Structure 1
Amino acid sequence: MKDLALGRMKAGTMNKTEVAYARLLETMKAAGKVAWYKFEGVKLRLADKTFYTPDFAVMNADGVMEMHEVKGFWRDDARAKIKIAADMYPFRFIAVRMQSKKNGGGWDREVFE
């Protein structure tokens, strides 16, 4: 069995922040704002042997597809991959970061188009 780097989850397993975001997506789905979403449901090829798997593929109620990335903090390679993917693919890419309760809670959003 391969050793996983510290702080990394096995593919297909959500961390606590991703679970919290999935709950938000489920609330949005119940409210009719989101038609569908899937955790790690899309794998995008960026170059030979280079892929990007957004945390969530999301279809809004209006049919617009978005790729959502849930971040606690950014690593340089992750920011580069989402920017490259946004240039290559016809989706809206959104990075979200959970705000602390002392900062009002909720989610910060950064859009890449």
Structure 2
Amino acid sequence: MIGRQLQALGRLKVGAMNKTEVAYAATLEQRKQAGEVAWYKFEGLKFRLADNTFYTPDFVVMLADGALEAHEVKGFWQDDARAKIKIVADLYPIRFIAIQARPKKDGGGWKVEDF
């Protein structure tokens, strides 16, 4: 219970990026400069899952070929977040992926998981 209370204290306001999201935005910007990404937006779309239940991915990304992707950046997963991304991936015809930072001791970079 104490862990949940501490976690709630650290939550950021809607529209504010945490450190991992800021680092991933820099990666998306590099990919944009390289021509792989045409556009991206932090919390740019909101998907309806059911009445009064929504999912907002951290980033919506348009690749250079026009394909849309939703990128969820996580430091760690909680069960409800994993359930939501699985549900939304089944409902909407775009690619949903989870991004996790790899520890520097493991080479750094990003781990990507498709849904």
One fold, TM greater than 0.5? yes
How many Å separate the matches in 1 of 2:85 and 2:39?
21
Query: Matched residue of 2:28: which SS?
Result: helix
Aligned position for 2:38: 35
Q: CA RMSD in A?
A: 1.0
Query: Matched residue of 2:35: which SS?
Result: coil
Fraction of identical pairs, as percent:
72
Cα shift readout 1:40-96 (whole Å, capped 9, x = no counterpart): 000000001100000000000011100000000001110000000000001100100
Q: CA deviation at 1:8?
A: 1.5
1:96-111 matches, cutoff 5 A: 96-111=99-114
Letter paired with 1:73: F
**Which has a greater percent of helix?**
2
How many Å separate the matches in 1 of 2:73 and 2:10?
14
Hey, which bits of structure 1, 4+ residues long, moved more than 4 A? none
Query: Matched residue of 1:5: which SS?
Result: helix
- Determine which of 82, 85, 95 is the counterpart of 2:85: 82
* TM-score, normalised relative to structure 1: 0.94
Unmatched 5+ residue regions in structure 1?
A: none
Aligned position for 1:63: 66
Q: CA deviation at 1:7?
A: 2.8
Query: Matched residue of 2:16: which SS?
Result: coil
* Pairs aligned (count): 109
